Amino acid sequence: MDETPFPARVLAAVAAKRGPVVVGLDPRPERLPRDLIEWGRQRHPDTRRATAAAVGAFDRLIIDAVHDVAVAVKPQLAFYEQLGWPGIQILEETMSYARRKGLLVIADGKRNDIGSTAVAYARAYLGVGGEESGLVADALTVNPYLGTDSIEPFLPACRRGKGVFVLVRTSNPSGAELQDYPADSPGAETVAQRVARMVLRLNEGLPAAGGFGPVGAVVGATTPEHAARLRRELPGVLFLVPGYGAQGAGAAEAANAFVKGGGALVNSSRDILYAWEREHPGEPGTADDFAQAARGAALRMRDALAAAAACGRNARLDSESTLKFAASKE
């Protein structure tokens, strides 16, 4: 196991790939190219296994198409779980294939539970403290509703090269309900800010790199004002930014998550996986069509983020908040 601190591996990958693009693997069986579905059916008479085989082939296709552009893939575990054990078997193969192709793997499971069960999740997805599950990723997304003692079981893995991303402010419309509460009390800390402080505390004493700790934060790009504020409050925290593309945020919004042009991974799922469909509505595509469209979308996303980051870097050097942040760090 590579025990280089997780943030060091992230920063090296961002430098090597010239951008922070993460490709979310949300393989929806009903949207896969028809030739892959047909190929799966020929392989397995059982529907679940046939679908799982097609999903695996699709994942490899996408990984081949983006492996030199993206920093990481982020398999969304729900899409594998809905296929039962054959889905999990394919997930293991996808994770292993991505790693061989030089990609980091962020398991997007938003797992959460109390002490001893959180330990089992840490074993499952970060591979520390138990037998190899076959599902070991570089990082796992986790939910903070249960509090600090539900995240602490992941910290031993964070001392050994792994990372977690704690949900802080999510990109969905109802994200505000609990996360921005109490919104109406001026000056009162919101739940998301409280979680942000938890993330800061959890990083204390853990191996850092480039000023970033291994406990990151999920901060949606669709609410840029939150991203900008949390970025100021958490300068030493890696952000994982969902919401790019299909969920409505563009590079300018995502750039709110950057510190001096970096420190954030930006995820796009559907906009890359199904770029063919968006670009050729109503026209069934082959596996090759999907792959070429996905690569094009990933390249455009990388370029757009680079432009926004450069722009943001200049803008920030002039802004009062960044000057304050810079002063406080010196």
- Binding footprint of a copy of itself on the chain (CB under 8 A): 26, 28-29, 47-48, 51, 76, 78-79, 81-89, 91-92, 110-118, 120-121, 123-125, 130-135, 143-150, 167, 170-179, 181-182, 185, 188, 191, 194-195, 198
CB of 15 to a copy of itself, least distance (A): 31
Closer to a copy of itself by Cβ: residue 85 or 324:
85
Task: Count Cβ atoms below 10 Å from residue 99 Cβ, excluding itself.
Answer: 16
CB of 153 to a copy of itself, least distance (A): 10
74 tagged catalytic:
no
CB of 100 to a copy of itself, least distance (A): 18
Query: Is 230 within 8 Å of 169 (Cβ atoms)?
Result: yes
How far, in Å, CA of 235 to CA of 117, rounded? 31
Question: What ranges in the chain are assigned the alpha helix state H?
Answer: 6-17, 34-43, 47-66, 77-81, 84-100, 115-126, 155-158, 176-179, 191-203, 224-233, 251-254, 270-273, 275-279, 287-318, 320-329
Query: Is 73 within 8 Å of 25 (Cβ atoms)?
Result: yes
Catalytic entry in 110, 260, 324, 329: 110
Single out the residue of 262, 269, 263 nearest to residue 245, CA to CA.
Answer: 269
Closer to a copy of itself by Cβ: residue 194 or 324:
194
How far, in Å, CA of 203 to CA of 178, rounded? 24
Q: Give residues with Cβ within 8 angstroms of 312, minimum separation 6.
A: 255, 256, 258, 261
CB of 90 to a copy of itself, least distance (A): 9
Query: Amino acid identity, residue 213?
Result: G
Query: Is 39 within 8 Å of 327 (Cβ atoms)?
Result: no
Closer to a copy of itself by Cβ: residue 150 or 256:
150
DSSP label at 100? H
Task: Count Cβ atoms below 10 Å from residue 81 Cβ, excluding itself.
Answer: 13
CB of 140 to a copy of itself, least distance (A): 11
Closer to a copy of itself by Cβ: residue 113 or 303:
113
CB of 111 to a copy of itself, least distance (A): 7
Closer to a copy of itself by Cβ: residue 151 or 234:
151
Closer to a copy of itself by Cβ: residue 111 or 160:
111
Active site residues: 110
